[in-house]
Amino acid sequence: MSRLDSAIRRLQAQQLSLEWAASAVATHSGNAIELGLGNGRTFDHLRSLMPERPLYVFDRQIAAHPDCIPADDRIFLGDFRETLIKAKQVLGQTVLLAHLDIGTGDKEASIALAAEIAPLVDSLLADGAVVVSDQPVTLPRWTSAVLPEGIKPGRIHLYRIG
Ligand SMILES: C[S@@+](CC[C@H](N)C(=O)[O-])C[C@H]1O[C@@H](n2cnc3c(N)ncnc32)[C@H](O)[C@@H]1O
């Protein structure tokens, strides 16, 4: 598979997974969070899927396309390890959808970061929440969900909470 094929499949997996997640919580109110605003691509897709749901983003820097930068009061700027703790004071345990898109080219470091921050993310999640993650996570409350058809196992990870 070429690198182009791989990039396309990764983006398709994200698109299908975010659509699965938005649909899974469509009938319940609650907040959504995205870890890793990046250039704003998945943020833009999430807000198009859930225009009414408050969507908070986390990143250490704002480098998104100008059209994809949320309002200041929806941004937690800084290292995830610090901002997730601050977010608990603002959001409590009201998050129904979390998207973790935190990976860099360093797979081991990305998995380690996910393991470190997942308990902080977990503390924000309401029962019935869903998580889409680019890294695998093992936590007692997180149960793996079946991937939508067409996504290769291991490419992305879906969890139901509680
Ligand atoms: C894969 S990119 C996100 C791509 C984005 N979801 C998109 O679709 O454009 C990962 C992002 O995570 C951020 N990041 C990585 N480690 C972080 C950390 N420890 N604290 C805060 N942000 C971090 C990076 O700055 C980067 O913007």
Model confidence at 159, pLDDT cuts 50, 70, 90, reads very high
Distance CA 29, CA 35 (A): 20
- The pLDDT assigned to 154 comes to 94
On the question of pLDDT at 1 being above 90, the answer is: no
Domain limits, the chain: 3-161
CATH 3.40.50.1370 fits 3-161, yes or no: no
Cβ–Cβ < 8 Å for 130, 18: no
Residue whose structure tokens are 């990976």: 103
On the question of pLDDT at 147 being above 90, the answer is: yes
Using CA positions, which residue lies closest to atom 26 of ligand 1?
Answer: 38
Cβ–Cβ < 8 Å for 162, 128: yes
- Which residues line the pocket of ligand 1, CB cutoff 6 A? 36-42, 59-61, 79-80, 101-103, 113
**72-105: per-residue pLDDT in tens?**
999 999 999 999 999 999 999 999 999 999 998 8
Residue 13 tokens read as 């997996």
